[in-house]
Amino acid sequence: MENLTLEQREARVAELSAQFNCKIEDWTFENPKVGQVLCFVKEPTIHLIYAAYDKFDLSPTSSGELLMEGVVIKEASDPRIFDAKKRENHAIILRVNINCQNLITIAVDDVKKK
């Protein structure tokens, strides 16, 4: 995948928001070994948060994987995010998985604040 500037990524977020009719976030990051990793995610539904939360205490990575499957927009994101067969992709996959786990933490923290 090509490297996108911040402006190009912002335009892509706007385009995806219109296409999916929901909030889209840009989780693009730099990996020291492979460069830019594009990652665009949809806001998770409450049902997806519930399902991931149910798994979170027993298996945070499984919970993160469930969210990854539900929120990462595969056709707009770097394909290496979903290619676990190659060892060099493991750090990329783990980073996105941890970001997804953080969605649960944020949702729970929001509830505790209220």
DSSP E strand boundaries for 33-88 = 35-37, 40-42
Question: Which residues lie closer than 8 Å to 52 by C-beta, 6 or more apart?
Answer: 44, 63, 64, 66, 67, 100, 103, 104
- Please tell me the predicted confidence (pLDDT) of residue 2: 75
Among 96, 78, 99, 73, residue whose Cα is nearest residue 21 = 73
Predicted confidence (pLDDT) per residue in 76-112, tens digit: 999 999 999 999 999 999 999 999 999 988 887 777 7
Work out the pLDDT band at 114, boundaries 50, 70, 90: low
Amino acid at 45: T
C-alpha dist (Å) from residue 94 to 26, 35, 98: 17, 16, 6
- Please tell me the predicted confidence (pLDDT) of residue 1: 64
Q: What is the mean pLDDT of the chain?
A: 93
Predicted confidence (pLDDT) per residue in 14-72, tens digit: 999 999 999 999 999 998 888 999 999 999 999 999 999 999 989 999 999 999 999 99
- Please tell me the predicted confidence (pLDDT) of residue 106: 86
Q: Tokens standing for 74?
A: 């595969």
What predicted TM-score, i.e. pTM, was given to this entire model?
Answer: 0.89
Domains contained in the chain, CATH given = 6-113 (3.30.2220)
- Please tell me the predicted confidence (pLDDT) of residue 68: 96
